[in-house]
Amino acid sequence: RVFAAICDVWPQADVFTAVYDEEGTEGRFAHRRIQTSFLQRLRPTARTFRTFLPLYPAAIESFDLAGYDLVVSSSSAWAHGVIVEESAVHVCYCHNPFRYAWSEREAALGTSGRLLRPGLRWLFNHWRQWDWIAAQRVDRYLANSDLTRRRVQRYYGRESTVLPPPVETARFAPGGPVGEYYLVVSELMFHKRIEVAVEAFNRLRRPLVVVGDGPELRRLRRIAGPTVRFEGRVPDQRVAELMQGARALVVTATEEFGIAAVEAQAAGRPVIALAEGGACETVIDGETGTFYDRPDPDALAAAVAAFDPLEVDPAACAAQAARFDVGRFREGLRALVTEACAAAPNGRRARRRPARRAGRVLTGA
């Protein structure tokens, strides 16, 4: 959705991405001119793409961007590594520096097998070197949250401007009956810590609905008790219905921003979140939600038991969510890119051709 909002700012721009899946992106880019890398011929899927991760840096660097004077990349791992002409301006919207090279490196190594660990350590070190070098080529960084801004500065030594990502708040509206269930909406990845919510609600014996898919699904099903239900990946309309009827959204990860938390507030429902990361920037403690301070089931269970979601004013939640509407994002992005172009030396100011996009790499990271 973030990438689609970026594309809306430059409707005539070309899009580059390592791999394109029209069905997986729900046809949002079917009308665009899409250019893919050599990885497209290998046909990676959502289940197999991790096998090809070592090839992604070469895939991104293989794009021919000659003749384009403005490149806007949307990057959570690789896209900021595109090589542009010396005269071009490159603005990167950074969702997070590549987590397996930086913030999640040790956690990923700790969960890998003993035989795999030395090879992964070498690979992660290689990715870290490549990632740092790539970051030095970017002209201007935009960060999706203050947490990401701090990481960009710490890992890359680069300054960045915070621009919260777009949230389609119009898809949600307060009102309607509130059910008994609590809700998780997330990719089911190891670093999302969904097991914290599953175990907490096992102990509380309260209903929990989990929306999303990913490699952790099978393990989570095994540990889930009778009050936990998995819906898998569902259409947008179903997500909106579930958010509107939930007592509260539960966030267990240290999110760089956390769009689901804003969506829940747009639906008039509060958020129970770990007191780390983007949730601290989007949820007002005691007004549109509450926080717990440790990523463990006991802390979450205590927060759920102590918090009454029905005392929260849905209108206050919706007003907080409106701060992150997609319209504000588009205006902010256009202004910041214009500023970056104006600040570039005369020989590098974008002026010759329409903007061309270096698209998001679909790594899921």
Provide the pLDDT for residue 46: 65
Pair type for strands 271-274 and 289-292: parallel
Q: Are residues 156 and 191 in the same domain?
A: no
Q: Are residues 224 and 236 in the same domain?
A: yes
In a domain, residue 101? The reply is yes
Q: Are residues 181 and 269 in the same domain?
A: yes
Q: DSSP character for 151?
A: H
Which are the contacts of 166, defined by CB distance < 8 A and separation ≥ 6?
Answer: 1, 2, 5, 324, 325, 326, 328, 329, 330
Answer whether residue 115 shows pLDDT above 50: yes
Q: Are residues 113 and 241 in the same domain?
A: no
In a domain, residue 357? The reply is no
Gap between the Cα atoms of 279 and 248, Å rounded: 14
Nearest to 165 by CA among 89, 259, 82, 251: 259
What Å distances lie between residue 215 and 23, 50, 110, 212, CA to CA? 20, 11, 17, 10
In a domain, residue 317? The reply is yes
Summarised one tens digit per residue, pLDDT across range 56-102 is: 999 999 999 988 989 999 999 999 999 999 989 999 999 999 988 88
In a domain, residue 355? The reply is no
pTM of the predicted protein model: 0.83
Q: Report the chain's mean pLDDT, rounded to a whole number.
A: 90
Q: Are residues 189 and 65 in the same domain?
A: no
Q: Which H or E element spans position 219?
A: helix 217-223
Answer whether residue 22 shows pLDDT above 50: yes
Q: Are residues 14 and 99 in the same domain?
A: yes
Summarised one tens digit per residue, pLDDT across range 210-260 is: 999 998 999 999 999 999 999 999 999 999 999 999 999 999 999 999 999
Q: Are residues 157 and 47 in the same domain?
A: yes
The residues facing 249 across adjacent strands are: 183, 271
Q: Are residues 194 and 303 in the same domain?
A: yes
The residues facing 115 across adjacent strands are: none
Contact 202, 227 (CB under 8 A): yes
In a domain, residue 353? The reply is no
Summarised one tens digit per residue, pLDDT across range 125-154 is: 899 999 999 999 999 999 999 999 999 999
Summarised one tens digit per residue, pLDDT across range 262-299 is: 999 999 999 999 999 999 999 999 999 999 999 999 99
Kindly state the average pLDDT of the residues 151-167: 96
Answer whether residue 347 shows pLDDT above 70: no
In a domain, residue 61? The reply is yes
Q: Are residues 156 and 62 in the same domain?
A: yes
Helix residue spans in 49-193 (DSSP H) = 56-61, 105-110, 117-136, 146-151
Structural domain including 50 reads 2-166+325-348
Kindly state the average pLDDT of the residues 13-19: 90
Q: What is the CATH number of the domain that holds 271?
A: 3.40.50.2000
Q: What token pair was written down for 61?
A: 């660097």
Contact 152, 97 (CB under 8 A): yes
In a domain, residue 278? The reply is yes
Q: Residue 238: helix, strand or coil by DSSP?
A: helix
Contact 250, 300 (CB under 8 A): yes
Q: Are residues 180 and 311 in the same domain?
A: yes
Total domains in the fold of the chain: 2
Q: Are residues 195 and 206 in the same domain?
A: yes
Nearest to 6 by CA among 360, 362, 322, 363: 360
Q: Are residues 58 and 160 in the same domain?
A: yes
Gap between the Cα atoms of 161 and 145, Å rounded: 9
In a domain, residue 365? The reply is no
